[in-house]
Structures are given as C-alpha cells and as structure tokens.
Amino acid sequence: MYFKRQSGESISNRFYKKVCRAILTEQSTMAGDGTEKATVIEGKEWYMAAYAPQGVPSSDHLKLRTVTISLADDSIPDGHVAVELLWISVDPYLRSRMTGHQDGLYMPQFKIDESALKCMLMQVLVAFGVGRVIKSKDSRYSEGDIVLNPYFPIAEYCVMPSDSLIRKIDVTAGIAIPDYLNALGAPGFAAWVGIVVLGEAKPGLNVFVSAAAGGVGMFAGQLAKLRGCRVIGSTGSDDKVKLLKEAFGYDDAFNYKRETDYDAALSKYFPNGIDVYLDNVGGKMLEAVLNHINIGGRIPLCGMISEYNKTWKERDGVRNLLNLVGKNVRMEGFLVGSYLNRFQDFLKEMEDYLLQGKIISKTKTYNGIDSFLESLGSLFSSTNNGKVVIQVKVNDIYTKFLPKPSLS
C-alpha cells in the first residue's frame, strides 16, 4: 500500500482519548463493590533463545512467550508508562544483533543467559515501534498518547521508562502512522543521510541505488530526483522494476536476477559513469560499481544485505578497491545514530515532502505479533515491496480514525 495524505481524516485529541479510554475500560474488570480492579493484561513477546551465526534465523533461535503485565498504580514505577504496541518496524539491521558476535555493523548482541533454566531470563527483542500509552506515571504523558520509541520490545504490551520515548505523534497531522517508522523513521533518515549529506546530490548527477525498492532505496531515489539527479535502481523482480519507475519516479531500473553480468548492466544504464552510489547490498554489485564510478564519485555505504547471513570468511571480497585511489573516490560507511544532530533538519524536510505529496511510501504489512519471524525472513527473500512493518493489533478501533492508505 502507498501512503499519502488525505484531507478530512483527522480527529480531535479529545475524541481520540475518549476512544482510548473506552478501549482500556473494555480490558478492565470490576470488583464486587463496583470499583475497578487492577487491570492485568496478558500479551506475547519475542525473545532470543539461541544465536544464529549463519543463515536466516528460525524458530530454533527466536521464540514467542506469553507474559502478564499489571496496570495497578503500585506496579508501574514513577517515570514509567505502560504501552500497547500498535506498529513494529522490521529492519535488516536486526539480523546483525542475532549472530552472537560483533562484526560488520558492530551492533550490540541480544543477550542470552546460557545458565538460565527459565526462558524468562532470555532477552526480549527490541525494535523501532509506535504504541499507545494505556497507563502513565509521568505527567508528560497521558492515556491515549501515541508515542515513538527505537527500543520498544517486539511485544504486544510493555512497561518502560518514559525517558526512552523520543516523540509524541500528532494524530491530526494527516500523516499515516506507519510513515513514522518509514519515511520519517530510520529508513527515510538513512536515505536522507546517504543522498543529501554524504552523497551531496545535486542537479545533473548520475545516481545509482541498490535494493532500490526496499525501505531505504525507495526514499533514496525520490530524494535524488527531487534534487535534479538522473536515478537508476537495481531490484529483485520485474514487478519491482515497474514499481520503481511508475511509483517512485526512477528514470530506469533493472532486475539484477536477469542482468547477471552486473558490469555489462552498469555499462548499459550508465554510459557516462556513476557519480553517487548508495550501497545497500555490498558484494558483487559493489565490485561492479567500482569499475563505473566517476572521478570524484561518492559511495555512501548504508548496508550490505547480501552479506548479513554469512560469516566474514564467506562474504564476497571486492577485488578492485584500487579504483578508489585512482579516481579519488570517497567511500564511507555510516550509521544513522552518528547523524542525530541532523535529525530535525531531516524531519522538517521529509514531513513537508509527505504533506505536499512529493514523497510517497510503500509498506508490506504483516498482521499480529505472531508474524515477526515470517516478516524478518522476508527481508532476505526479495519478496517484499517497500518497508516491512507489523500491525500488532489488527482491527483496532483506533485505526479507523487515522489517515487512510491510498494507491498512487
């Protein structure tokens, strides 16, 4: 689904919070004297049971368990909130936290207590997410507030420090909630850093984006086009090639599974060479690009998804790095956390683009918390178009009051 702004879809905060209170009331029980009992919520959460150094993690590594959370006043510490998860972002970087060793992205590993007899001691997986506050012990947050957090557990409910929440979401702004994990989240920010900050995109440049129909790639191409560049993308199916050209405005695109000679493909699509390459895949594609990069070219390294499920000894080596020297090329890896000082600049620009309809997004939505393992595996299968998200609570009464998705 593509998400665009639609007018007339907003609701008042007062009415919205009334809806949230109604939902919370439905989850509560009443004592015999008519007073409200302490609400106890039962929900599911994913945890790390065993590391997966190779291949796609399976149910041998990631497991689901049921937990209970009390909403009684004395059960929630001061400065904490209880949250019902609404949407969870599923991103390739999560894979790097499940190997049991640090290399490549050098992400902290999800912890496993090998001596634990009970699975409750295994660490819950965390990811970017959007949730609804259902109980607050912080005056800054009220029941019904919609909040964003990069470290929400992959779960249905949680209690966490309110200081970990990075923003409230204005549900009347006319922006679809998944876009806060998408265009306005880590994928959009990564695309912006790669194209605007490191790529220094400007009119007339030839820009190449790999994994162009993915969460980062779809925004990278649109941002480069808005800056007057000629943009070509590579992707994993003919349908995605069509998507890139018809929905995201790419000048052209190719299916890397058909164009198996990457060097020949880049000669065809870039007769005048490549000025900026946003790398999302690494391996053989990066090697081919180095034969076509122009003098003074820039290669922001955003990710290398072709290498994530391999140990370092199994990964494809790049044999022509000497081209970087001879062509005075700047190749630079980056993590978005290193550019948080530019996040507000990014938000202002991207929110304006969304509201003006200059940027569109596409999501692949999986339904329910049980779908996390399937959604994670899909990242490495070339079966998804756009950003992968989980809608934790399907048919939530709240969602019918939000801006609706529309086909572009």
Distance CA 389, CA 152 (A): 14
Same domain (yes/no): 293, 314: yes
Same domain (yes/no): 203, 167: no
> Which pLDDT score, from 0 to 100, does residue 306 have?
82
CB 381 within 8 A of CB 83: no
Same domain (yes/no): 119, 242: no
Read off the tokens for 355: 């509201």
Same domain (yes/no): 156, 59: yes
> Which pLDDT score, from 0 to 100, does residue 120 have?
46
pLDDT tens profile 64-102 = 999 999 999 889 999 999 999 999 999 988 998 999 888
356 lies in a domain? no
What confidence category does residue 383 fall into, taking pLDDT thresholds of 50, 70 and 90?
Answer: confident
> Which pLDDT score, from 0 to 100, does residue 312 have?
80
Question: Among residues 266, 279, 226, which one has the least CA distance to residue 248?
Answer: 226
350 lies in a domain? no
Distance CA 331, CA 324 (A): 8
Same domain (yes/no): 240, 150: no
Same domain (yes/no): 173, 224: no
DSSP state of 50: S
Distance CA 408, CA 265 (A): 29
> Judging by DSSP bridges, how do beta strands 80-89 and 146-153 pair with one another?
unpaired
Percent with pLDDT over 90 in the chain = 71
The mean pLDDT of the chain is: 86
Question: Among residues 359, 60, 337, which one has the least CA distance to residue 184?
Answer: 359
Read off the tokens for 84: 């019902």
Same domain (yes/no): 86, 197: no
Mapped onto helix, strand or coil, the DSSP state of residue 21 is: helix
Read off the tokens for 205: 């440049």
Percent with pLDDT over 70 in the chain = 85
- The answer on pLDDT for 8 being more than 80 is no
- The CATH code of the domain that includes 248 is 3.40.50.720
Cα Rg of the chain, angstroms: 22
CB 192 within 8 A of CB 219: yes
What confidence category does residue 398 fall into, taking pLDDT thresholds of 50, 70 and 90?
Answer: low
Same domain (yes/no): 170, 232: no
Same domain (yes/no): 159, 228: no
pLDDT tens profile 234-250 = 999 999 999 999 999 99
234 lies in a domain? yes
What confidence category does residue 56 fall into, taking pLDDT thresholds of 50, 70 and 90?
Answer: very high
The structure tokens 């009443």 sit at 30
- The CATH code of the domain that includes 117 is 3.90.180.10
Q: Model-level pTM?
A: 0.83
What confidence category does residue 197 fall into, taking pLDDT thresholds of 50, 70 and 90?
Answer: very high
pLDDT tens profile 152-178 = 999 999 999 999 998 999 988 889 999
221 lies in a domain? yes
345 lies in a domain? no
Helix, strand, coil percentages for the chain (3-state, nearest 5): 30, 25, 45
Distance CA 10, CA 405 (A): 13
406 lies in a domain? no
Same domain (yes/no): 209, 170: no
How many structural domains comprise the chain? 2
Same domain (yes/no): 275, 160: no
CB 148 within 8 A of CB 167: yes
Tell me which residue range forms the domain holding 307. 186-339
What confidence category does residue 288 fall into, taking pLDDT thresholds of 50, 70 and 90?
Answer: very high
352 lies in a domain? no
Neighbours of 199 (CB within 10 A): 29
Same domain (yes/no): 201, 159: no
CB 288 within 8 A of CB 323: no
